[in-house]
Amino acid sequence: MPEPTIHPAAPANDLAAHDLLIRPGPDGAVSLDPARAGWRYLSYATAAVPTAGLAIPAAEGVETCLVVLDGHDVTIVDDGNDHRWRLPGRADVFADLPSALWLPNGRALTVRVGAAGSAGRATVAIARAPRSERDGVATEAILVTPPDVVVETRGAGNASRQINHVIAPSFPADRLEVVEVLTPSGNWSSWPPHKHDVDDMPTEAVLEEIYHYRFRRPAAWAIQRVYRADRSRDALLEVRGDDVVIVPDGYHPFTATHGDDAYYLNALAGDRRTMACSFDPDLDWVRETWPEMELDPRIPLVPPRSAAG
C-alpha cells in the first residue's frame, strides 16, 4: 500500500478566539467536523444514548473510536452483520478508567444501553477520521476495556497529571489517537506549553486535536490558552463541563482552578502515528526541574485496573 501523504504543516486557520470554543447544546451534546474546525481529518461528537438506541451512520473509508464517558454498560451493534460488542460503563470520568471500541471502517452502528430492552442511561464520545490506508492498520474491531488502558503519571509538583492512554501511537489504528487527562485542582497540564502544527520529525508532527472537558464538580470552570509564538492568535478561554476546544495550531496549556479536579478527553488525528510535539522555548526549562520535585500525591485520581479487576 502507498504511504500516506505527509503534510508539512497544519492548514492556514483564521478561526476567531470565540470559534475555538464549542459549548454544548441544550441536550449536552457537541459536534464538530473538519469544515467547522478548519482542518483536514478529525470529526468529534458526543451524545446521550436514547432508549431507542443511538444510530451512527455509515461513512465509507473512515475509522471510528467510541468512548463511554459515563453511565451504564453499552452494547454496540454492527448494523451490517449484527456483530455486537459490550462496553463497560462508569458512573463518571472520575469513577473508573474508560472503555472504548475502535473500528477500522465506517460501518453503520447502533449504540444501546445495556442489553436489549433494559433501562438506563449512558453518554458516549465518537471520534472519526478518514483512513490513509497505511500499512499495519488492524482489519478488525478492537475492544478496549479498563484493564487495557495504560495509566501514565506525568510532570511533578503542581504540574502533575494523569494520562489514560486509550488509542496510543502504538495502537494499530490509522490516524486516530485518543487519551484522557485528569488534572488535580490547582494543577497545570499540557505544561510546559507544546504544539504540533509542523512536520519536523522526530521533534514534532502535525496533529489536529480537541479538548473535551468535564469536572468533578459540575459547576466548575477552568482556563485554557491557545496561542502562537508570534501572538497572531492568543485566546484565553474559560472552559466548563462538556465544552470542546479546537486546537488547530499553536501552544495550548491548561490550568485547573483551585478546588476543582478537571478532566479532558483529547482526540487527535494526523498523518503520522506519533504524539511528537515541541515545547515553547521560553518555558521548556521547566521540565528540567521535575526530577528534583515530588509527584503530587493526589495522582492517580483514577487508579489503574488489573485484568482481575
Domains of the chain (ranges; CATH) run 29-292 (2.60.120.10)
On whether the CB atoms of residues 113 and 49 are closer than 8 A, the answer is yes
What are the pLDDT digits (tens) for 206-251?
999 999 999 999 999 999 999 999 999 999 999 999 999 999 999 9
Confidence (pLDDT) at 118:
59
- The pLDDT of residue 308 is 55
- Picking from 76, 69, 137, the residue whose alpha carbon sits closest to that of residue 105 is 137
Write the DSSP assignment of 135-148 as a string of letters. TT--SS-EEE-GGG
117 secondary structure, DSSP code: T
Is 222 within 8 Å of 262 (Cβ atoms)? yes
How far is residue 249 from each of residues 34, 208, 255, measured CA to CA in Å? 14, 8, 19
Q: Say how many C-beta atoms besides its own lie within 10 A of residue 248's C-beta.
A: 21
SS3 track for 89-102: CECCCCCCCCCEEE
Helix (H) or strand (E) holding 36: helix 34-37
Asked if the bond preceding 192 is cis, omega within 30° of 0, the reply is: yes
Residue carrying C-alpha cell 436514547 = 50
Integer Cα distance of 192 and 194 in angstroms: 6
Identify the CA nearest to 164 among candidates 138, 186, 183. 183
User: What confidence score (pLDDT) does residue 4 get?
Assistant: 81
Q: Tell whether pTM > 0.75.
A: yes
| Confidence at residue 251, expressed as pLDDT on a 0 to 100 scale | 99
Q: Is 78 exposed, middle or buried (0-12, 13-18, 19+ CB in 10 A)?
A: middle
Phi, psi angle pair for 143, to nearest 5°: -90, 130
What would the pLDDT profile of 60-69 be if each residue is shown by its tens digit? 999 999 999 9
Residue 49, pLDDT score: 96
CB atoms within 10 A of CB 292: 8
| Predicted pLDDT at 116 | 54
In the chain, which residues have pLDDT < 50?
Answer: none
DSSP 68: E
Strand spans (E) along 196-280: 207-215, 221-227, 234-240, 244-247, 254-256, 262-270, 278-279
Q: Contact, 192 vs 284, CB < 8 A?
A: yes
Q: What is the per-residue pLDDT for 294? A: 98
Q: List 245's β-bridge partners, or say none.
A: 21, 211
Beta bridge partners of 278: 195
Cell digits for 302?
483514577
Phi, psi of 290 (to 5 degrees): -65, -40
Are 209 and 129 in contact, with CB atoms under 8 Å apart? Answer: no
- Burial environment of residue 120 by CB neighbours within 10 A (0 to 12, 13 to 18, 19 or more): middle
Query: What torsion do the CA atoms of 296, 298, 304, 309 make, to the nearest 10 degrees?
Result: 160
Closest CA to 43 of 244, 263, 226: 244
Instruction: Supply the pLDDT for residue 89.
Output: 97
